[in-house]
Amino acid sequence: MPGSASSRLVGPVRTLLVSMVLVEVTSGFTQQYLSPLLPGIGVRSGITSAQISWIYVVQTVSMAVLTPVLSRLGDSHGYRRILRLSVGMVTVGSLLMALWPTLPLLLLGAVLQGGVVGFMPLMIGILRNRAGDEASRRGIGILVGALLLATGFGGIVAGVFGASDARHGLWVGVAAGVLGLVACVVMPDADTRPSAERFSVTAFGLLTVGLAGVVLALSQGSAWGWTSAATLLSGAVGLAALALWPYAELRTDRPMVDVRVFRNRRIAVLSVVTFFLAFSTLGSIVVNATFLAADPASGGYGFGLDSDAIGWALLAFIAAGIAASSLTPFALRRIGDRATLLAGGVATAIGFAGLALAHDDLTVFLILTAFNGIGLGVFESATRALSVEAVPQDDTAIAAGINELVLSLGAAVGAAALSAALAAHSDVTGHVATGGYTTGWWMCCAGGVLAGISALLLRRQSPLPGTEVPAPVPQPTSSY
């Protein structure tokens, strides 16, 4: 592999990284800029809080489905080509939202923005082809840093532009998408010759139907009735499709997701931890934003923050996540895998239990969301590193892809479950009672508890042959 003999980022690779950093800026802004804007857009466009949460549900389902698809297409048809397709999808989705901020177009835009999940794995593929494993790891570290910073400030910038009218802030996503497109155009080609191999369409269909059915049942169960035919049919079809999906993957020589990796006990446990912490920390982002925006004079709760203020308020959550992610490698070395993951689950449980019990003071609210950010940072860093350490070096990409898929799935199910909690406590006018939020926060608290319990099941393991290479996201490896 070119460049495998050196870990230095030589001139051409540095030039390549500049364009990649700009793409990651697009990714960070896309993942965060909607959070402070959606409550204000709901007021302007007549969209209820329960319907707003649907936008995030649809986006996270799209991400879960597209995670394996875009990665596999990159392997088969060229990383840069599929990266351009992914950035194009995100840009078109953002443009639709900005031009026509109605619920149907916001939902369609959210589906297209799901293409953001392809950015990182596709660029990792380009880096490895161009620079080799050693140098690419340093490059990945730069990309991760750019992503976290952009995520932290994406909501703030959108809030500033949407201060007078939240709909104006939607153009921040368009500008970010255009920046990403320009970066993709000037990005030098670094692909190997594409193989044009196809993955199983049947497996893709089953995964899509399964996720959509389960999330639809969770989100609309309170509106349709939990025992109604529509809810039961949607949930049953979704569960049946998800049950058949692994068998479809096992029957193909070119699976989207190699489900055989779940036979590895550590991968299975880490996937459970990832699911529950993503359920809680990522699934609650929009719910927390709508609570911050709620007018206490009319609704009896909330803080009446505008888009700008919400962006700054959410920064406490992101900043805590960045700090925790940076400290996680040290924790893995000093206190071990189980204790580190347990700490993430405990911090998450404390934060959400606190929100359920004490949500009337803004300062307390921000401190508690910082605890949630700690849980986010721990699992984002630790589960990625530990997942790839649990498999031989040749299976690194498979393990990393599984982790990303489980993360997206947890976020999607969490968003749907919290959406159901809000809908179950909504009146005919769409106003959500306080109980909707407290129920959702207790559910997230339970997610943290289950993640912590699951972490205790993680066993010690001696290094496997070929696992000397650290995770794709460069974190110092654990001592196990």
pLDDT (0 to 100) of residue 393:
53
Please check whether residue 180 lies inside any domain of the structure.
yes
Same domain, 76 and 26: yes
| CATH for 367 | 1.20.1250.20
**420 within domain boundaries:** yes
Quote the pLDDT of residue 367. 94
On whether both 241 and 346 belong to a single domain, the answer is: no
468/409 same-domain check: yes
Does 391 map to a domain?
A: yes
User: DSSP string spanning 248-261?
Assistant: HHHT-SS-SS-GGG
For residue 368, is it within any domain?
yes
Q: Are 161 and 171 a contacting pair, CB within 8 Å? A: yes
Indicate whether 50 belongs to any domain: yes
Domain that holds residue 272: 261-480
Nearest to 118 by CA among 182, 154, 72, 150: 72
Same domain, 336 and 219: no
Residue 289 CA: distances (Å) to CA of 223, 307, 476: 22, 9, 34
Same domain, 218 and 324: no
Q: Say whether both 412 and 392 belong to one domain.
A: yes
Residue type, 345: G
- Sign for the CA dihedral angle at 15, 178, 122, 116 comes to positive
Residue of 334, 448, 341, 330 lying closest to 387 (CA atoms): 341
Same domain for 187 and 210?
no
Specify whether 436 is located in the same domain as 303.
yes
Q: How many domains does the chain have?
A: 3
1 lies in a domain?
no
Q: Are 9 and 166 in contact (CB under 8 A)?
A: no
Q: Which of 253, 272, 298 represents a domain boundary (last residue)?
A: 253
Residues 142, 222, single domain; the answer is: no
Residue tagged 């004490």 (tokens): 358
Bridge partners, 426 (sequence order): 432
277 and 336 in a single domain? The answer is yes
Domain boundary among 195, 223, 238: 195
Evaluate whether 425 touches 439 at the Cβ level (below 8 Å).
Answer: yes
Tell me the C-alpha distance between 417 and 466, whole Å: 40
Last residue of a domain, one of 195, 230, 245: 195
Residues 208 and 183 placed together within one structural domain of the fold? no
Classify residue 108: in a domain, yes or no: yes
pLDDT of residue 133: 46
> Which of 132, 107, 163 is closest to 13 using CA atoms?
132
Along the 480 residues of the chain, how does pLDDT read in single tens digits? 344 434 444 445 677 888 888 998 999 899 888 878 888 888 888 887 767 777 877 887 788 778 777 877 776 677 788 889 999 999 999 999 999 988 899 999 999 999 988 787 777 667 766 665 455 546 665 676 677 778 878 878 888 888 888 888 899 999 999 999 999 888 876 555 555 556 677 888 888 888 788 877 876 776 677 788 888 998 899 899 989 988 888 887 777 777 777 888 888 899 999 999 999 998 888 788 889 988 888 878 889 887 778 878 888 888 888 888 878 888 888 888 899 999 999 999 999 999 999 988 999 999 999 999 999 888 877 887 777 677 765 555 566 667 777 887 888 788 878 888 888 888 777 778 888 999 999 999 999 999 999 999 987 655 554 444 444 444 433 332
**Residue 3 domain-assigned?**
no
Whether 249 and 271 share a structural domain: no
Residues in the chain: 480
Among the listed residues 179, 150, 473, 445, the one whose alpha carbon sits nearest the alpha carbon of residue 328:
473
Residue 8: other Cβ atoms inside 10 A? 12
